[in-house]
A and B are shown apart, each in its own frame.
Chain A
Amino acid sequence: MKIVIIDYGAGNIQSIKFAIKRLGYEAVLSKDVEEISNADKVIFPGVGEAGSAMKMLRSTGLDKLIPTLKQPVLGICLGMQLMCKSSEEGNTQGLGIFDVKVVKFNDGLKVPQIGWNQIFNLESQLFEGVNENEYVYLVHSYYVPECEETIAKTEYGVEYTSAIKKDNFYGVQFHPEKSSDAGAKILENFLKLEVRN
């Protein structure tokens, strides 16, 4: 199985690579259109600021490629947010895979939310063998509101989308690579998804 982590200069890619290695797979980092297109599984990471991340995607043409991918794609953290229509962060236009707008947490809360919170209302194969209310590690200031494509929710002042799915596109707000055994299970579930032709 060929696993590609999209390398566009954003995020803690090394940790994702190691997490995949701990599961017994190898992943390669790539920004090459052909290599990404030919992968069995694509991971779209992201840490940092939405506007500058989109700029980096545009400069490499990856903004055009990602929405056209047919194999399972997993957006992590900012990666998931960039798959949405737009973000309040820097008033950024996203990839538009999910028709939802990313918004900032309420002023009354400590932002960023940093730490372990629970995921619930779990749907999809991604969460097979994962308990309701399992703890995962999150670090973010903006969130995806609840929508039709929500497959897991988390509560922080508001109930919001902590995982999302549409066709072959999956997104998780939390960091599976840093979420202990539960995170490893979710990552493994993603890697074991059937490839649709």
Chain B
Amino acid sequence: MLTKRIIPCLDIKDGRTVKGINFLELRDAGDPVELAEIYARSGADELVFLDISATEEKRKTLAELVLRVAEKVNIPFTVGGGISSVEDVDILLKNGADKVSINSSAIKNPQLINDLAAKFGNQCITVAIDAKKIDGEWIVHLMGGQIPTELNLFDWAKEVEKRGAGEILFTSMNNDGTKNGFANEALARLSSELHIPIIASGGAGNMQHFCDTFKEGKADAALAASVFHFKEIEIIDLKQELRRNGIAVRI
């Protein structure tokens, strides 16, 4: 049976992890490769690296990091953050990334989704969508959620699917950082209206939240950062809890 995926997300700046990471076994707390190896060993199904650096050398640094991750890590990983062209994607996939995630660049230039899907196949194109519920309507936001657009979440998600995205990573900005659970109502609607996998993001605080997002939110995967980085939740414990609740997971 296809299992639900648990995905830790690592924020990267200039080739280093940024958020405080609470792993005693790390020799170098800022090394994304070492952290990725630990997550791979501890039962993560996939990893996401989100590059938030804003330097000139950003592309080169990220490509080098991808190569180092691919060398050591034997589970799939996705790379995102500032990717805006076919050339950007080409080097990241060549260096060993399994998927890339695009966000703002897809909103500014939707044709990019078609171009990437045609060249690399839709299976490696994840479109990330940040949205916020404002007066009852889910509005897509740009630039890490700072700037509202005219787009409605569900309309944009359908367009993204039609253009060739293989998967959607939906972050609810109402939930992100709250630790009060995922936006399950919106997730369930996305899952029923679309035919590609949906990754839930934003709001993970405890194990029950993951359980709820798979059951009520019908999510195919769940992404979180701090609950894993600070060891508030161990992935193996989480998976055992999910299995006890009748959710198929890889243990």
Contact = CB atoms under 8 A, between A and B. Distances in A.
B74 A19 contact: yes
A180 B1 CA distance: 18
Contacts of B46: 115
Contact of B45 (A13, A47, A116): A116
Q: Is the interface of B mostly helix, strand, loop or mixed?
A: loop
Contact of B98 (A15, A111, A113, A183): A15
Interface residues of B, number: 34
Given A18-B96, A178-B76, A114 B123 contact: yes
Given A112-B122, A115-B197, A135-B3, A12 B74 contact: no
Nearest to B67: A14
A22 B197 contact: no
B45 A177 contact: no
B2 A113 contact: yes
Contacts of B72: 18
Interface string A6-45: 0000001111001101100000000000000000000000
A49 interface: yes
Contacts of A140: 123
Interface in A106-128: 107, 109-118
A3 B71 CA distance: 18
A118 B249 CA distance: 11
Given A135-B3, A178-B98, A116 B250 contact: yes
A88 interface: no
A155 B76 contact: no
B73 to A, nearest CB: 9
Given A48-B120, A155-B1, A110 B220 contact: yes
A115 B5 contact: yes
A interface, how many residues as a size bin?
A: 35 or more
B3 A115 contact: yes
A179 B74 contact: yes
Interface in B29-80: 40, 45-46, 67, 70-72, 74-76
B195 interface: yes
Given A22-B74, A48-B120, A15 B96 contact: yes
A47 B124 contact: yes
A176 B74 CA distance: 9
B93 interface: yes
Given A49-B121, A112-B122, A118-B1, A137 B95 contact: no
B167 interface: yes
A12 B96 contact: yes
Contacts of B74: 19, 22, 177-181, 183-184
Contacts of B75: 137, 178-180
20 contacts: A12-B98, A13-B94, A14-B95, A18-B71, A19-B74, A47-B124, A48-B120, A48-B121, A107-B195, A110-B195, A111-B196, A112-B122, A114-B123, A114-B197, A115-B5, A115-B46, A117-B1, A117-B2, A135-B3, A175-B76
